[in-house]
Amino acid sequence: MQRPPVGDDLPVARHFVVEPEARAAQLADARTDLEAVVEMRGQPVTHVRFEHERLEAPFPERGVAAGELLEVGDARDLEPDQVVRVVRDALGVRLGESDANVRAEAEAAHQGHSTAVNELSTLLRERQPCVVLTGAGISTESGIPDFRSPTGIWAQYDPMEYATIDAFRRDPVKVWEFYGLRLDTLAKAEPNAGHLALAELERRGLVSAVVTQNIDGLHQRAGSREVIEVHGSIRTARCLACGEQTPLDRAMPRCPRCGEIMKPGVVMFGELLPAEAMERATELAREAGLLLVVGSALEVYPVAGLPEETMSAGGAVAIVNRGPTGYDGRADLKVDAGAGETLSTLLRV
């Protein structure tokens, strides 16, 4: 939705309000007040806490003032007592048309999450040792884009041009231009509540190790000590010509030994995973009383096969992930929620 031109002589509220589309700007009995309005956008929105101010301007037929539309990304992120009002059609903004079931749905969602966290807490204490397997879903909460979602990195960049070992050998400068952008993002990212909670669980003796598909180093920065990086790390660079490995402190470094352009220390398509890291991850999965999967859809093998190792050895599998995974029907517990909210709540149970 676009902000239409507003004359300088009309006072406009500084807070956000809902803007109807242009074809429905004439609303016979719409009014502005201090209650919140949210437009349903394809998926149920169960609760919201937004504010907007009254506008005291002579808008035609008391139409809702133009502004910016704020949307709820996931209703489960808020508490039931944050419900004010929700309407299903922003083009028919009679503010009395709220959804009668909104609060009940919010309370049910909140109660369901609380119950799942309690079950996860029980598993964590009864099925030791616990090994955690993390994927991109934990780092997206730090502002790091994932790869495979509709808005992920591969929606903008063809992985065959930027993320294969053949692409690097063919044009290392082009590949480094792509990784240079990622380095900027990673440099600004900070560990989030999920990373910090896992580090605290390790300090309490409830998590023995973290196996991660992520290359960002946020687990280590959060304080986790036993971290196995099965997809490599963006913190290092390696020379394909002579094997030299160095810390990565700038984009496109040259090898201090032979002068060749070094490769990022991440595993590219067409490369084998680090043998030592993968062997250690498999060993940990087999020994785990509980494998806790956080923020991974379990789509990329061989790492996605680690739950099988745990289950075959008699261990339990719990999954915390927004959206489905390949093991939802076989896991002992699935929590469809964010990593930060779930793991930080787990600390208080």
β-bridge partners, 237: 246, 264
User: Which CB contacts under 8 angstroms, 24+ apart, belong to 74-79?
Assistant: 74/322, 74/338, 75/44, 75/45, 75/46, 75/47, 75/48, 75/106, 75/109, 76/46, 76/109, 76/110, 76/113, 76/337, 77/338, 77/341, 78/47, 78/48, 78/49, 78/106, 79/47, 79/106, 79/110
What is the model's pLDDT at position 151? 52
Do residues 297 and 321 make contact, with C-beta atoms less than 8 angstroms apart? yes
Classify the phi-psi angles of 143: left when phi > 0, otherwise alpha if psi is within -120 to 50, otherwise beta. Answer: left
Assess whether the previous peptide bond of 302 is cis (omega < 30° from 0). Answer: yes
Q: What is the pTM of this model?
A: 0.67
Angle between helices 102-126 and 339-346 (to 10 degrees): 60
Tokens 């929105």, residue located? 45
Do residues 317 and 307 make contact, with C-beta atoms less than 8 angstroms apart? yes
Sheet holding 333-335, edge to edge: 227-229, 209-212, 130-134, 290-294, 316-320, 333-335
* Contacts for 265 with CB less than 8 Å, ≥ 6 apart: 215, 232, 233, 234, 235, 236, 237, 238, 245, 248
User: What is the rounded CA–CA span in Å between residue 14 and residue 16?
Assistant: 7
User: What is the rounded CA–CA span in Å between residue 349 and residue 339?
Assistant: 15
* Tens-binned pLDDT, residue by residue, of the chain (349 aa): 444 444 444 443 333 333 334 444 343 443 333 333 333 333 333 333 333 333 333 333 333 333 333 444 444 455 554 444 444 444 444 444 444 454 444 454 555 577 889 999 999 999 999 999 999 999 988 988 765 555 545 456 666 777 789 999 999 998 898 888 778 778 888 999 999 999 999 999 999 999 999 999 999 999 999 999 999 998 899 999 999 999 988 788 999 999 999 999 999 888 889 999 999 999 999 999 999 999 999 988 899 999 999 999 999 999 999 999 989 999 999 999 999 999 999 998 7
Angle between helices 193-203 and 339-346 (to 10 degrees): 30
User: What is the rounded CA–CA span in Å between residue 203 and residue 315?
Assistant: 22
What is the model's pLDDT at position 260? 94
Provide the residue type at 204 as one letter: R
DSSP structure class, residue 194: H
Residue 113 catalytic?
A: no
User: What is the rounded CA–CA span in Å between residue 104 and residue 93?
Assistant: 22
Of the candidates 76, 58, 214, 189, the one whose C-alpha atom is nearest the C-alpha of residue 132 is 214
Helix, strand, coil proportions of the chain in percent (round to 5)? 35, 10, 50
**Strand (E) positions, 277-340?**
290-294, 316-320, 333-335
What is the model's pLDDT at position 237? 93
DSSP structure class, residue 242: T
